[in-house]
Amino acid sequence: MAKIKITQIKSKNGATKRQIDNLRCLGIHRLHQTVEVELTPVSKGMVQKVLHLVKIEEI
């Protein structure tokens, strides 16, 4: 599986509960935190919901 790096670049203030939950499930808890996740259909869907809050890099 391919891996991607996800970095939160915008605050989650004003985000919906669903978006905040998606960030937490991806493993992101604070601003400018970077995590590596495998690119599965589930993680891809979660990233699409919070695309305006994060920056994506392929590894």
pLDDT tens digits for the chain (59 residues)?
899 999 999 999 999 999 999 999 999 999 999 999 999 999 999 999 999 999 999 99
pTM of the predicted protein model: 0.89
Distance CA(15)–CA(13), nearest Å, equals 6
| Phi, psi dihedrals of residue 13, rounded to the nearest 5° | -60, 130
Block residue for tokens 């495998």:
38
How many domains does the chain fold into?
Answer: 1
DSSP state, residue 26: H
- Output the pLDDT for position 1: 80
The answer to whether 42 and 51 have CB atoms below 8 angstroms apart is no
CATH label of the domain that carries residue 19: 3.30.1390.20
Q: How far out from the chain centre does Cα 38 lie?
A: 12
Residues of the domain holding 37: 3-58
